[in-house]
Chain A
Amino acid sequence: MSRRALAGAVLGGGLGAWLAGTAGGAFVTPDALDPARWNVIVSGRDESVVSQLGRGTQVVGGALVLTPHTFRRSDQLVPRDGRALGGVALTLAPDSGPVMLRLRGEGTLLAIEIAPDAWRVLPGGWTPYAAPFEVRVEGGEARVGGASIGRTAPPTLELSAKEETARILALRLRDEAGADTLVEDPVAAWRGRAPLALGAVLGMIAGAAALWTGGGGLVALAVPIGVALVPHAAWLGLVERLYLVRLAPYELARAALALAFAPLFVGALARSGRAMPGERPRRDALGTAAWVGVAGLAAAFASRDGAWAWAPLGLGVLLAPLLLARAARLDPVGLLVRDLPAAAAVAALGWGPGLLPAVAWRLVLLVAGAGSLLRRAPRAAADGVFVLALALPFAAELAARSTWLDTAWDTARLEGDDQWRDLTPFWEGACGSGPRRTVLYAGGSSTGGAYQFHDEPDAFFPSRVHARLCAAGASLRTTNHGDGGRDTFTLSRTIEGLLAAERPDLVVVYVGVNDLLSATSLLTRAEREAQEAAQGAAMRGFAALGARSRLVAGLSLLARPAIDQEVDGVSDVPLPDAEANLRRIAAAARAAGATVLLVPEHVAPETTAVMAPYAAMEARLAAELPGVELVEASAALAPYAAEGLLFDRNHLSRAGTERMAELLAPRVAALAGLASPPVADGPG
């Protein structure tokens, strides 16, 4: 080993160990929170990788880390212990971002922002404190340092990050008697260790290679150093930006770090002069036979799942380097040995995912061997570089289509879930023998498809209403077209088809939350629809061409805007749009001879004020439009609040579903011309 390489190894080893100690946390497998003790509420759909692990909330580097998401609201960490909370004590790392601590009681909400050295009740001013920060709840009063900060009904606790990553070093929950109910000590519990040894070894190899290679090597060394310094929050943001639904941030970080060493590796390989083999021997029949044998074996392995259609083309690709060997008079056996990683990748991964690493490896060999090929066969080598460079995106497309990226980067999915155009009901039922009346229910996830009853479609309120009416002797057909994310925009664009398909006598519309409180773009749904319609046909066709490619879809995600819901958020369906949509729905129903029953969504008390204008708009429409009726569900259900009618903040619980069914059944019966079920007594 030269002195330069030796010096590089020593310097690199130290640098690698330092980097691993200071920035290695992003590359370490985090510990999961105990799912028996904590609920991590993650907004967004189909984003879970591994339960409790690997996204924004985890134990890493001796701290309970809460990382704000780029494309979603922060995770909420909620203790599973249902007992009333008596107090919270927490210690933040000195470099931590602030933690939001919410004490949520029935009808009360205290939002406390805690920084490492100061706290405040929003929206008030900051007060300094000495760690740990402690809040106690006594006699309906929340107190910090003995001073009252506000009244609260017996609260539940929610923790979340704000704008920066929060690092909690200790967390202690107490009951009303002051006894500990939950203690998190991530410093003691942290099993992972910063990978100092691994960092040192990688650093030694990289440092030696960099100094041995020369000036270009030092430039190439900057790439992995830069990647190593990228924090966990950035990897999390990239995972979300690219919609990598099956990949944890630390896995992406490791893959990126491995790839970041590629320029250094190529430079070192070129410097070694061993990227290309020596001169072809006079008799090379053995070499050609070896190529055919290895390629045949790789093709057989790659086709083991029955993908034989790819075998002829794949075999040609595997044997292609022989052309270069012939043109450049290279030893075919030597070239075969260097090409073995490509054959191994295809054999191990199959044709779809395997061709990408094979093409990439051959490109590495050609680039590293450019100096040698420049002398031997520049034209054949240049052709090889062009062919491989052009093949790379196709191989990447094939790889994406062969893995879970095929679903993750499916344009139809990325453009906002087109499933709402599907007119298949989420649930349907029929009872009675005579001529049946038909009731159609439409709405979002509280009406059908939500996670709380996902495997029990007959647990949603439309089927509970149906059951009550059937028990009362009705002859009835019920179809539930509720599903997650649906709103008045989607319903107004499908109502004619639904009316034609189902021919209902009554349409029950349970909407509101998805209209006003969802923000998935910088534009409203109607604006996005208009923008698409305004795009020229040629441009639409060109865009549609790109939409067929998973690679284009995936890379396009890099350019998508991140939305700060608090600042940029625009309702998917603002109030005026919602009114226009409901008018359109009412007009279509009237033309089809159906009555419309509007039911403003029942939401948690802290959200009622936000939804009040929506409920008022629906009441105004019911008073104004013929054939449109209203049930003010929130007011009617308010006396039953103590039963816990909501599963979270807007999805009905089982108790809520039964109360809603009890409320709606007489009105549905009257409006649909059915026998009315017996009416229950009030609460208490």
Chain B
Amino acid sequence: MKKDWTDLLREKLENYAPQVPEGSFEELKKKMLAAGAAAGAGAAGGGSVPMKRKGLRWIAAAASLAAVVAGGALLLRNGGKTDTDTAKNDAVAVVESAPEDKSVASEEAVAVNGSNLAANDSDLSEAVAVNGSNLAEAVAANDNTPANASPAAPSKGNLARSNKPVKQAVSEPITVIESKPEDVLADAGNQTDNIFDSNTENTAAAQNEPTVSSQNSNTVSAQPADKSDTVRDIYIIKDEPSESKTEPVSRQLKRFSLGASGILAANAGSNSKAAPNQLAYEVDKYGNKYYSMGSPELNYHYTAPVSGGISLRYHLTNQFYAETGLRFTYLRTWVSPTGAHQNLLYAGIPVGLGYKFLNTTHFDLYGSAYGMASKCIMGRESTNFPSNYTKLGEIPVMFSAGIAPGAEYRFNNLIGIYAEPTLSWYFKNDKAPQTLYKENPLYFTLNIGLRFNL
């Protein structure tokens, strides 16, 4: 689209200023003071420009931040358990006894990890502890009834077996001893030759497992599982709550994810079209019309903001997450009739909470709410003629809040792409430079970026 010749003329010459005023300001100041004295103190420029009250925005910002922090703390407190924890805490102890002699049969307490048949340390420790607590008794029982002791069942990857009367095991509640499995194994190992009928590989494997200390009282229920061939009393030792233990790797909870995004579309606040100046003229005592001395209305033309940054997401639970990051926003405003360009670069720190509505192997749907404080790290006003710029001082912090539904598609376990249509509200501050956000506080953007699951 061709520009009108008047627009071209204005663009070229509006700020063309080839001549610097001669003389110092001091000479001019004398004239001004003399004229001011003649005009009267009230009218002259001895007063200050009225300053707007501040404080309300700080209260609003503090309240928003407090709400976010309180919400996060609450979630951390109530929803601390994750799939990772529960999966590791799930375990089954199988106790087998010979069918022909249940009363004095030796017991094989087997700790089996539910997911991969490797021994779970916590359960192993519990199993060992249980057996350890009755160590002397079990040894004695074993010694007393060597003929009744059943041969070791095929291992099948099971780790620990110990001899213990079944009835005793059923009738006595199992006491959970919170201790490191290594300690228990070491203690048990001192006396284990005839107690642990296990090979060294399995024991070593057990010791190499990560330590998960069980904090809940485990419940033991006796259930005859298989009465046909061999009587197997299955004791289920499990921490509550039990959740899915066989999630695909890609869905396993990763605590942190790092996102890098930029705004690809931002058009809710369209650029304002310069409106013709409102004519305001006054008539002097001689009847001459002249411009009003009141402040002229400025017309602002805004370019679409450019924004980008990184975000760090911390998963509080499988659904809830907290998010923060660093976001840069570049705002450019052209002011007429002065013709100056205001260039503002903000660095903002968002703090938010989110919830995943849908969490599949490759696809997530979620929503979040956030508050953000943005500090202007570069603010200047520039003119083309003469070509110079002036730093803008004392630009207040810009506060905003918003909601952002989002969708993420994960290519693999590490990387995914996401899109977040974001509706933001920018809190008005009269002292801030005129920007698109000031004119249109409610602003829509579309964040698109990559997210790395760490």
A binds B: no
